[in-house]
Amino acid sequence: MISQAKLLKVAESPIEATYETILPVFSSQTLVRYNCILKLLNGGVLFLPHRAEPRPFDSFFVYNHEIVSLLPVLWRFDPLFSTLTGASQKFSGVVIQPSSVEQAVAYDGAEILNSRNGNKVKFLKEKAYLNNRTLNLIPEMPQEGLTAGKSAPFREDLAFWYFNHMGVSAPQTHWLRVIYPGNPGTQTQQLGIEQINEDFLDRIGLSQEAYLFKRNYVSPYWEPHLNEELGNSILFDLESALRPNLPLQRRQIIEQSIDQDIFLAYSIVSMLLTNWDGYHNNHWMYKNLAPGTLWQIFPWDQDKAWGYTDTTPFYTEFPLTYPITGTSPGVTRSPGPILSPLHQDATFYGQFLFGLRRELDQSFTDNFLYPEIEQRRSLLLSDLTLLEGSIGKTRTDRRDQINNSYNTIRNYILARRDYLLGQLQSYDPSQKPPFLRKAAFARRNQVLVLFERPLLPDGALDVQHYWMTPGNLHPSQVTLYLPDQVLLEFENPFLQHTAYILRVEGVRDAETSAPLTPAQARRIEYSQPRVSITEIQYDNRGDDLEWIELHNTLDEVVDISGWMFTDDESYPPRGEGYGVFREGSVLDGGEYVVVNLWNKPDFWRWKMPPSVRILHPLVKEEGALSNGGDNLLLFDAEVGGQLVDGAFFANYPDLCTEGESLEKVDELFPWGDEDTVDLNFRKAAVPLGFSTEPNENGNPLSTRGSPGRRNGTEITTHIDDWIFY
């Protein structure tokens, strides 16, 4: 229905005017679209929004909050013709109310497209739902054959949750109450699935300067979704490199190319869930474009997980050899071109079997999984009761669908677990060698090595059990940092941007008589930050006047104008403090500067000497560093930049109790990750070298720190004693 209303001017100034009109009454749950037609003084006509816009109209949603739901509510407006643009065009849209206490938000202009199993909702670029421009909407009753039918959404929801729980980045899922306006009796409970795309990568903290491929069952097999101009030859080259039956060569390629921890977790989960289609296809592969980075894997299309195949809905005897051969009595696929060679590697396959046996005692149990199932069942059944009250009829079919689907998954877990325990009788987790879990640089001359089990110190501390290539270097010292971690210290720093292979052999665990660790290796490297966060004052005495120190690690000038810092765990920031360096913020080669972190006007109370240059950034969102440990991020642009130093989820250690600053030990080394960050920070011990204003109790803000100079060095003469001539 098209109607027009004349706008009347009610206020005017030299630069703007305000117009208003009275609109007719609209029914609740109505999406109203409108535009403005301006008649210009020159006789022309101007349409606002412009007709060339992706959504050439504005809209609002009329809603009286009569829908009671425990799920987010999505109103679906399928494509309808609109003549607001002058020409008859079809537009669709959705409206989403995230919760009963929040306002409904109109995402008008979003495309609703058909997909293999349901619909894709493609949001306009500037207005995405949950920061992702695509939402996959699964039908309440999917078609059997293409999927597991009625049980498919429940299988897929729980599978993606389990992958995420096991450390494999997977799409987020959301149950939604979907309403079709104009037909008040049509309300459904549908599963929404996040799309793997640039927005997904942003959420999990991965760069878009990368390869991203979807593995298909048919040509083009490796379908590029990022930097498509680079083609897909890199993955076919990886297939070829892994294919030869030369164990030593294949092991070297695995170490140089594959994030083994992620691929192991992916394969373990896939074996537990009988994710038969996920070994050959139905997954994504990702690799940063930077040299020396490793391939990662993401799961996709889990609608047949938890034991459904094309021939049986309850298949529990999925064999341990399937990842290699692609064959089994219940289902057959060609061997996966990447995952099959991985499982042919003795080290990888051994870790796969031991990891699988471990999860049968930990996460793949009724004690762990049943509560998660029952939480989902309870939510959907409770919401279904509200839905039935809204439409005025009983949905026995839906209630049976929910109960039968979850009961099938519960029964599958017990049967699958019994089968795997029988197959893995010889893989006693207590007899597992202490396999390598991770290795990473902690400083330029230190490497932290993490094992899967606590270690026996006698063997763990033997320097001959560890060596780095190239160079075939043994550490000069080995320290048992934690029961399952050792810290290797070498005499000289290693070079940045150089791939090193750490090899470990012959370490014994501390708890059992498990075999010695077989020869294993990890590929590690680091990059020196152009500008390093070298010192943090997060808890001075009295009211906080926080600062950080930045050090230009290069010999040349670095212009940091427009660079951004934040203590948020997202980029761009989403609520925590952040600031931007003003135009003209330049660091000389090797220079140290202090940053008045939140641009406090009383920062002068530090009374830093003239030799210390202080930067006062433009604070966009005021924040405060946590005294219990916090993260920091330094990016070379406010939006779309590269991380220079800091970390999303690795908090600096809380070591300072008397106003001391926190110093980075190796100033030329980056921040570190959750495991290594504590090893490269220390409490400042050197005198501050100048006197601050007293706090409210008459005490100095701090007496220990080294702002504006190399960490750990002193100002030889107290500034108060200087004599000027």
Are the C-beta atoms of 174 and 191 separated by less than 8 Å? yes
Q: What is the pLDDT of residue 549?
A: 98
pLDDT at 426 over 70: no
> What is the distance between the alpha carbons of residues 375 and 372, in angstroms, rounded to a whole number?
5
Domain boundary among 518, 546, 562: 518
Is the model more confident about 136 or about 57?
136
683: Cα separation from own chain's centroid: 31
Reported pTM: 0.65
Q: Cis before residue 291, ω within 30 degrees of 0? A: no
- Give me the mean pLDDT over the 68-92 stretch: 88
Please work out, in degrees rounded to the nearest 5, the angle formed at the alpha carbon of residue 250 by the alpha carbons of 244 and 254. 135
**One-character DSSP codes across 281-308:** SSEEEEEESSTT--BEEEE---TTTTT-
In a domain, 328, yes or no: yes
Domain boundary among 320, 345, 370: 345
**153-157 own/partner pairs: CB under 8 Å, 24+ apart:** 153/190, 153/191, 153/303, 154/376, 154/402, 154/405, 154/406, 154/409, 155/302, 155/303, 155/304, 155/305, 155/306, 155/308, 155/405, 155/409, 156/191, 156/193, 156/301, 156/302, 156/303, 156/305, 157/191, 157/376
Same-domain status, 311 and 175: no
Same-domain status, 569 and 626: yes
Which whole-number Å values give the CA distances from 348 to 248, 251, 258, 275, in the listed order?
13, 9, 11, 19
CATH number for 465:
2.60.40.1220
In a domain, 147, yes or no: no
597 DSSP 8-state letter: T
In a domain, 419, yes or no: no
Domain boundary among 518, 538, 559: 518
Q: What is the pLDDT of residue 192?
A: 98
Q: What is the pLDDT of residue 288?
A: 96
Q: Which domain holds residue 175?
A: 8-139+170-192
pLDDT at 400 over 70: yes
Same-domain status, 240 and 310: yes
Which whole-number Å values give the CA distances from 231 to 222, 226, 239, 293, 294, in the listed order?
9, 10, 15, 18, 18
Are the C-beta atoms of 184 and 389 separated by less than 8 Å? no
> What is the distance between the alpha carbons of residues 300 and 282, in angstroms, rounded to a whole number?
5
- Give me the mean pLDDT over the 622-648 stretch: 94
pLDDT at 430 over 70: no
Q: What is the pLDDT of residue 538?
A: 95
pLDDT tens-digit profile of 149-164?
Answer: 999 999 999 999 999 9
Q: What is the pLDDT of residue 725?
A: 47
636 DSSP 8-state letter: S
pLDDT tens-digit profile of 124-150?
Answer: 987 899 999 999 999 999 988 778 899
Query: Which residue is associated with the tokens 């009829």?
Result: 393
pLDDT tens-digit profile of 346-368?
Answer: 788 888 988 999 999 999 999 99
Same-domain status, 577 and 685: yes
> What is the distance between the alpha carbons of residues 489 and 463, in angstroms, rounded to a whole number?
10
Hey, is 434 helix, strand or coil? coil
Same-domain status, 487 and 565: no
pLDDT tens-digit profile of 652-662?
Answer: 999 998 899 99
Query: Which residue is associated with the tokens 């995230």?
Result: 98
pLDDT tens-digit profile of 364-387?
Answer: 999 999 999 999 999 999 999 999
Q: Nearest CA to 110 among 65, 74, 72?
A: 74
- Give me the mean pLDDT over the 478-500 stretch: 93
pLDDT tens-digit profile of 583-612?
Answer: 999 999 999 999 999 999 999 999 999 999
**One-character DSSP codes across 99-158:** STTS--EEEET-EEEEETTEEEEE--TTS-BTTBSEEEEE-SSPPBTTBBGGGHHHHHHH
In which band, very low, low, confident or very high, does the pLDDT at 717 lie, cut at 50, 70 and 90?
low
Are the C-beta atoms of 632 and 648 separated by less than 8 Å? no
> What is the distance between the alpha carbons of residues 202 and 204, in angstroms, rounded to a whole number?
6
Are the C-beta atoms of 156 and 138 separated by less than 8 Å? yes
> What is the distance between the alpha carbons of residues 273 and 177, in angstroms, rounded to a whole number?
27
In a domain, 359, yes or no: no
Are the C-beta atoms of 61 and 96 separated by less than 8 Å? no
Query: Which residue is associated with the tokens 């199932």?
Result: 373
Same-domain status, 252 and 188: no
Q: What is the pLDDT of residue 658?
A: 87
Hey, is 367 helix, strand or coil? helix
Are the C-beta atoms of 548 and 518 separated by less than 8 Å? no
- What is the Cα Rg of the chain in Å? 30
CATH number for 588:
2.60.40.1260
Torsion of CA 512, 513, 514, 517, to 10 degrees: 110
> What is the distance between the alpha carbons of residues 343 and 33, in angstroms, rounded to a whole number?
56
Mean of the per-residue pLDDT values of the chain: 91
In which band, very low, low, confident or very high, does the pLDDT at 191 lie, cut at 50, 70 and 90?
very high
Q: Nearest CA to 250 among 466, 450, 521?
A: 521
> What is the distance between the alpha carbons of residues 160 and 181, in angstroms, rounded to a whole number?
30
Size of the chain in residues: 725
Same-domain status, 550 and 672: yes
In a domain, 156, yes or no: no
In a domain, 165, yes or no: no
In a domain, 534, yes or no: yes
State the total domains in the chain.
4
Q: What is the pLDDT of residue 89?
A: 83
According to the 3-state scheme, what is the secondary structure of 163-222?
A: HHHCCCCCCCEEEEEEECCCCCCCEEEEEEEECCCHHHHHHCCCCCCEEEEEECCCCCCE
Q: Nearest CA to 438 among 651, 676, 251, 679?
A: 676
pLDDT at 429 over 80: no
Candidate from 239-253, 476-490, 595-609 with smallest mean pLDDT:
239-253
Same-domain status, 673 and 550: yes
Q: What are phi and psi for residue 475, nearest 5 degrees?
A: -65, 155
Q: Cis before residue 694, ω within 30 degrees of 0? A: no
Same-domain status, 463 and 583: no
Give the other-Cβ count within 10 Å of 36's Cβ: 12
41 DSSP 8-state letter: T
In which band, very low, low, confident or very high, does the pLDDT at 496 lie, cut at 50, 70 and 90?
very high
Q: What is the pLDDT of residue 428?
A: 66
- Which residues in 78-108 are b (16+ Cβ under 10 Å) and which e? eeeebebbeeeeebbbbbbbbeeeeebebbb
**One-character DSSP codes across 473-541:** BPPSEEEEEETTEEEEE-SSPPPTT--EEEEE----BSSS-PPPPPSEEEEE-----SEEEEEEE---S
Give the other-Cβ count within 10 Å of 65's Cβ: 11
Torsion of CA 576, 577, 581, 583, to 10 degrees: 90
Same-domain status, 512 and 610: no
Please work out, in degrees rounded to the nearest 5, the angle formed at the alpha carbon of residue 537 by the alpha carbons of 534 and 539. 150
Same-domain status, 706 and 669: yes
Q: Nearest CA to 653 among 685, 629, 620?
A: 629
pLDDT at 311 over 90: no
Q: Cis before residue 224, ω within 30 degrees of 0? A: no
Same-domain status, 623 and 715: yes
